[in-house]
Amino acid sequence: MQLSLNEDQTQVLDFIDSLAKPYATVPMHDVSLALESAELDEALVENGFLDVMAVEELGPVMAALVIEKLARLPFAVEAAASAMVRPLIDPELPRPLCLMEEGKARKPLRFLRPGATVVVVGPSGVKSFTATENMIAPAQEDTLYGYPVAFLTSQPDSMTSHDVDAAEILRAWRVAMAAEAAGLLGAALASTVTYVSERKQFGRPLATFQGMRHRLAEDQVLTNTAYWMAMRAAGTGSQADAAMALHHAQEAAKRVCYDYHQFLGGMGMTLEHPLHLWTYRLKLLTAELGGRGAQGLAAAEALWG
C-alpha cells in the first residue's frame, strides 16, 4: 500500500497542469453550453498524455490520474475512453472514442462526430466502426449536458470485431467513468466553495451558514472518496472495485449537483457561471452504463456471485 503520488505521477500531472493552464478558466463572455478546444486535444495527444497506460512504469493508475485531472477543466476532453479503454482494444483506434452499450443507441453519445470511433460493447463482444456523417443526428442545439453529444441513427452492417474480453472492457469503462466523475466532482465542489465564500447575504459570506457548511462538508467526503475509489479500482483491476467506484461516483453526483446549483442561487441558473459545465457532465455520467442500479448489480455479482 502506497497512496502517495510517485515522482513519475507528480511529473506527469505537473506537465498537464502547465499545458492546460490556458484552458483552466472559461474564456471571457463565453456562454456556450459545451466547451471544447481542438488545440488542447491536439496538445494532449502530441505529448502522449492519453497513452500513459501503455507505458510500463506509468500504467492504469496514471491513466486514471490523467483522466481525473483533465475532467477538472471547464473544457470537455475525450480522455477517459481514449486513455483507459482504447489501449485494451487497439491503441491505434482513431479518436475520439465513443463507447456504447450494445442495443442502447437511443442514448446521446458523447463526442460523436464524423470520424469518431464508435465502440459497441455487449453480449456479442466488442466491435467498432468509424462514424460517418450519414449515421449521425445532432442533438437539440441547446442540449444542457456540457459535452458535445449526438445520436447514432444507424450502424454499419459490418464492424471490426476485437478479440478482447467484453467484461474486461466494461471494467475499464467503469474505471474511466469513475475517474472522470471524480475530477468533475472535485471541480464542481471547488467552484461552489469559491462562490459561497465570496457571496455575502445578511452581511456575511453564505459559507458561514451552517445549513450550507454541513452539506458542503458531506459533499467533500463524497468527492474525496470518489477520487480514492476510482484510483483504487484503476490500481487493482478488480471488477468489484470498478463497479463500486462508478456506483459511488454516480451516487455522489446525484447528491451534489442539485446542492451546488441551489447554493449558487440565481447565479447557478446562468451560463455566465461555469458550474453547469461540470454538473451537467456529471448528470450525464449518472446515466452511463445503466446508472447506479446496473453498477450495483455488477458489484453484487462480483462480490457475492
Partner 1 sequence: MQFEWTEEQDAFRHKIRDFLHANLPDDWEKFSEHGPASPALTAFAREFCVKLADAGILFPHWPVEMGGEGLGPWEQQILAEEMWIAGEPRGGQYMNVNWIGPTLEKYGTDEQKKRYLEPITKGQSLWCQGFSEPDAGSDLAALRTRAELKDGNYVINGQKIWTSYAGLADTCFLLTRTSDDRKRGITIILVPMDTPGITVRQIPSLIGEGDIHEVFFDDVTVPESARFGDEGQAWEIIGYSLRNERLGIPRFTLARAALDRAVQMLKDAGDFDSEYVKIEAARCAALCEAAGTANYAVVQRRVDGLAIGAESSSARYATVMAERAVCEFVIEFLPEGLAGASPYLKMHHQRGIVAGVAAGSAEIQLNIIASEVLELPREPR
Residues of this chain that bind partner 1 (CB under 8 A): 1-6, 9, 61, 65, 189, 193, 196-197, 204-205, 207-210, 213-214, 216-218, 220-222, 224-226, 228-229, 231-232, 235-236, 240-241, 243-245, 247-248, 251, 292-293, 295-301, 303-304
User: Where does residue 115 fall: left (phi above 0), alpha (psi -120 to 50 degrees), or beta otherwise?
Assistant: left
Give me the least distance between CB of 155 and partner 1, in Å please.
29
- Calpha distance 261→270 (Å, rounded): 10
- Calpha distance 135→4 (Å, rounded): 45
Q: Nearer to partner 1 by C-beta: 53 or 189? A: 189
> How wide is the angle at C-alpha 253 spanned by C-alphas 249 and 257, nearest 5°?
160
DSSP-derived letter for residue 268 is G
Q: Which three cell numbers stand for residue 65?
A: 490520474
CA nearest 80: which of 71, 89, 72?
A: 71
SS3 280: helix
Q: Nearer to partner 1 by C-beta: 144 or 193? A: 193
Q: Nearer to partner 1 by C-beta: 59 or 125? A: 59
Q: Nearer to partner 1 by C-beta: 35 or 243? A: 243
Give me the least distance between CB of 282 and partner 1, in Å please.
17
Give me the least distance between CB of 294 and partner 1, in Å please.
9
Give me the least distance between CB of 217 and partner 1, in Å please.
4
Q: Nearer to partner 1 by C-beta: 122 or 235? A: 235
- Calpha distance 258→99 (Å, rounded): 27
Q: How many CA atoms lie within 13 A of 218 on its CB side?
A: 13
Give me the least distance between CB of 261 and partner 1, in Å please.
18
